[in-house]
Amino acid sequence: PSTQTQIAGFQFNNCLMNAAGVACMTIAELEEVKNSAAGSFVTKTATLEPRAGNPEPRYRDVPLGSINSMGLPNQGLAYYLNYLLDLQNREPERTFFLSLVGMSPDETHTILRQVQESGFTGLTELNLSCPNVPGKPQIAYDFETTEKLLGEVFAYFSKPLGVKLPPYFDIVHFDQAAAIFNKFPIKFVNCVNSIGNGLYVEDETVAIRPKNGFGGIGGEYIKPTALANVHAFYQRLNPAIQIIGTGGVLTGRDAFEHILCGASMVQVGTTLHKEGVSAFARITEELQAIMAEKGYETLEDFRGKLKYLG
């Protein structure tokens, strides 16, 4: 069985890749993912200038997942963009993802304009978990600001662009968010980012230093939320907007479920951090075994075909 896929008309020889933030901070890490069984990679979310991020410990693996409050450490847009421009000359037949964010809506436009003016031919993933003005929630939880921002972006940005979304937990929020995304030429939505502001306690103490221990939760904890967001947007979005499924992928069964719920690509975060890039070959083999057992030749044979109980 084949686990190849396509996003926005770009072909990938495998539907698995890293999630932004994991195994993608440096060129060495990105090369390792590129040369693994993964079909592509996405960079650590880039800001205009390099950032050191929060004091450590800021990421912890825990038995059922992970918690992090990294604070957007990254090498800055130029580092990732220059690497991607060089890579598209070296490997023109492959497509890769650039994740980015502005620390303000204005900075988001500045960074996207630089990408628009560049020769980048890959896919851009705009992280909508970006900070808003103080006193307001992250952009993706502020629907008015999200719509305003996307309207401004698509006035000048013509390269293929998708958005990375935090999880939503209210059906009306799925309706409202999808109604906004359906207004724009967005190529994909990536569901989900970590579940925000969890708290992991070890004996009597928090596990990470920043934010008094509050941080984004990943891993086994979040698969039901991730699958719900993948399927809710699959049900609501214009079919021209594809879904990337992220969250709780440990095995081929988890990847199978993301695709069954509507995902065209599946990203691996916490499991990749714990296991390394060998996870991609393992999960691919497990997915292929499930497909063979069920008689599915391609992902299209079962994508979105989640059955209800009537």
Ligand X SMILES: CC(C)(C)CCc1c(C(=O)O)[nH]c(=O)[nH]c1=O
Q: What does the alpha-carbon distance between residue 293 and residue 227 come to, in Å, rounded to a whole number?
A: 22
Contacts of 180 (CB under 8 A, 6+ apart): 143, 146, 147, 150
Report if residue 127 touches ligand X, rule: CB under 6 A: yes
Single out the residue of 22, 25, 33, 70 in contact with ligand X (rule: CB under 6 A): 70
Q: Which residues are catalytic?
A: 130
Q: Is 286 exposed, middle or buried (0-12, 13-18, 19+ CB in 10 A)?
A: middle
Single out the residue of 17, 42, 72, 161 in contact with ligand X (rule: CB under 6 A): 72
Single out the residue of 3, 14, 129, 271 in contact with ligand X (rule: CB under 6 A): 129
Rounded alpha-carbon distances, angstroms, from residue 278 to 1, 194, 272, 282: 20, 22, 8, 7
Q: What does the alpha-carbon distance between residue 24 and residue 36 come to, in Å, rounded to a whole number?
A: 13
Q: How far is the CB of 3 from ligand X (least distance, A)?
A: 26
- Cβ-based nearer residue to ligand X, 43 or 68: 68
| Helical H segments across the chain, by residue range | 27-34, 77-90, 105-117, 143-153, 171-181, 223-236, 252-260, 270-275, 278-294
Single out the residue of 71, 132, 143, 301 in contact with ligand X (rule: CB under 6 A): 71
Single out the residue of 193, 267, 271, 284 in contact with ligand X (rule: CB under 6 A): 193
Report if residue 57 touches ligand X, rule: CB under 6 A: no
Report if residue 208 touches ligand X, rule: CB under 6 A: no
Q: What does the alpha-carbon distance between residue 86 and residue 148 come to, in Å, rounded to a whole number?
A: 34
Report if residue 131 touches ligand X, rule: CB under 6 A: yes
- Binding flags for ligand X, 210-249, as an x/- string (CB under 6 A): ------x---------------------------------
Binding site for ligand X (CB under 6 A): 21, 45, 68-72, 127, 129-131, 193-194, 216
